[in-house]
A and B are shown apart, each in its own frame.
Chain A
Amino acid sequence: MKKIISLMLSLCLIVLGSVAFAENPTYHVGVLQLVQHVALDAATQGFCDALNEKLGDQVVIDVKNASGDSANCTTIANDFVASQVDLIMANATPALQATMAATADIPILGTSITDYATALDIDDWQGVTGFNISGTSDLAPLDGQANMLHELFPEAKTVGLLYCSAEPNSKYQVDEISKYLTELGYECRPYAFADSNDVASVTEAACECDVIYIPTDNTAASYTETIANVVDPAKKPVIAGEEGICTGCGVATLTISYYDLGYATGLMAYEVLANGADISTMAIEYAPNFTKKYQKERCEMLGLTIPEDYLAIE
């Protein structure tokens, strides 16, 4: 059995060698996305647009989606490593972890990752990983969001933090913003739902607070209608971590654009591919700019007056 395995492996190596010689000078980039999702789709789109603009015909991008199964991430990562792609873009945390486990050589760029130190389990975080991974972080300006909440609702006493317990990034944001909100004198209460089935009832419970905050949570983003159906009749304002959630069920947000984030990741990929930048020393990049936005109809319904520097969501 061992003989057969080693025979097969060596065969693979020989084949692999011959492939390396036959390859033409275009760049082959693999994109591994965790799940079909508005924000992640936008990031992938931005990434592809940036690379296509910079490299045109010189780049072939292969987008593969794990459809929410983390086991598929490993299979797809294996496919990319086996095809000897020049770079892998991993969209969302499990995608990045599976890719990291699959290769120590191929450059990997992450996006839609909130905190790289947590996602990759790195102590003593210095802003670079020191190995074949870099990328962009979707960390929203949590201090800014806390200040926004304070600016709009100075009278409120309690803030309900609504998020999905299956999402590590949400938990991280909730923990972080609690610190800022507590400093501003609010009482924070976490309300975590496990999946789509208990979104409504957990939201119902969160309505006992004066204001609700929702971080950049993928599950919440998918069920904004459900949340709106609870908070709108209860007349509870929601401050959201991103624009999609704000449009669906919130009043205001300090937002990042996942498209811009993906685009920034694409530019990093260009640096690695065309200019030979060393990925292990590339610093993690953050969203380039933030915008204060509000949802006009809901603010009117709640009778809120929004300061002038806020943009209405189209």
Chain B
Amino acid sequence: MDIAKLFNAFPGAISQGIIWGIMAIGVYITFRILDVSDLTVDGSMATGGAVAAMLITAGYNAWFALLVAFLVGMLCGLVTGIFHTTMGIPAILAGILTQLALYSINLRIMDGKANTAVNVNKFHVLVTSRNVRVLSFSNPIVFSVLVTAVLILILCFFFRTEYGCALRATGANGAMARAQGINTNIAKVFGLMLANGIVAFAGALLAQYQGFADVQMARGAIVIGLAAVIIGEVVFGKLLHTFSGKLICVSLGAVIYYLVMQIVLWLGLNTNDLKMLTALVVAVFLAVPHWKSKAFSRMAAQKGVLEDA
């Protein structure tokens, strides 16, 4: 167990974390802003990867592939939104249904193959894990930090516009939002589209980073996304109160998630136990706010008793 090896593994964990952080920002929009648990992401992330892999291997520009992935991701969100609003299916089920359907669609996108390689020797990709220890602009950390920054700026701008505020109101208090004349159904559909567009965008980056797209590549993505949202809130929630700060927290949460994974691997634990350890780590982070509030209320109660006496 050599601490130097761990440090040497950090750049890889950080860049992987930032890419998943983009995905987690998408999850944040549905989970925290819209107050909807959207499970579409397990499918739409793979869709983004599949679209990007097919376009890049067909010779299209990687930027163009990102754009198309974003648009196709929005379509996935639209389907979930329609399931949820016009068909009245509960959000969690609507997401599961879309996710299920996306498995077949992802296979169709990849021409019936379950796996498409994006050969970094052959195609120009924007991020690749190969350059993670290179000191230049080709380093995926530089690129993904820039992309995250731009994304957060755009989202901050958007959620300050009138329609952005309407979206936030929809999530905060649906009845009140409707009373203000906001069509909450359309707002929800749009929120789901935006979130899944971002998730698919992250999937497109991930496919380039890891060198392939696979129908199973985003299995369990929602767990990583939620973990990032919650870890970010627990660790940095006290420091950053603004909207942009909260999004930065989410991104940092994903980085912490992957750093913890890397440390677990470095410790040399049996990788068969990896999923259990992941679940435990997330459970602990989930429990921290609960314990904290309990401790505070107990302290407050004691204080109250003293004051009464």
Which residues from chain A sit less than 8 Å from chain B, CB to CB?
1-2, 5-6, 8-13, 15-16, 18-19, 36, 62-79, 81-84, 93-94, 97-98, 100-104, 118-122, 131, 165-168, 171, 194
Contacts and interface: CB of A to CB of B under 8 A. Distances in A.
Contacts of B211: 97-98, 100-101
Contacts of B141: 5, 9
A67 B210 contact: no
B212 A97 contact: yes
A76 B271 contact: yes
6 nearest CB pairs, A to B: A101-B211, A78-B12, A82-B9, A97-B212, A121-B117, A82-B8
A193 B299 CA distance: 57
A12 B11 contact: yes
9 contacts: A15-B7, A16-B8, A79-B12, A83-B5, A98-B211, A101-B120, A166-B114, A166-B216, A171-B112
A19 B2 contact: yes
B12 A68 contact: no
Interface of B: 2, 4-13, 16, 20, 57, 103-104, 107, 112-122, 128-130, 132-133, 135, 139, 141-142, 145, 206, 209-212, 214-220, 224, 258, 261-262, 265-266, 268, 271-272, 274-275
Given A15-B4, A70-B214, 14 more contacts: A5-B145, A6-B135, A15-B8, A16-B8, A65-B274, A71-B20, A72-B274, A74-B129, A77-B129, A82-B5, A94-B115, A100-B211, A165-B114, A171-B114
A64 to B, nearest CB: 5
A2 B135 CA distance: 10
Given A73-B210, A101-B120, A66 B129 contact: no
A69 B274 CA distance: 11
Nearest to A79: B265
Contact of A120 (B119, B219, B275): B119
B115 A93 contact: yes
Nearest to B49: A70
Report whether over half of chain B's contact residues are helix, strand or loop; otherwise say mixed: helix
Given A9-B139, A75-B16, A101 B113 contact: no
A148 B238 CA distance: 69
Contacts of B139: 5, 9
Contacts of B142: 2, 5
A101 B16 contact: no
A64 B265 contact: yes
Contacts of A83: 2, 5, 8-9
Which of the listed residues A6, A72, A78 has the most CB atoms from chain B within 10 Å of its own CB?
A78
A16 to B, nearest CB: 5
A97 B213 CA distance: 10
B216 A70 contact: yes
A93 B261 CA distance: 22
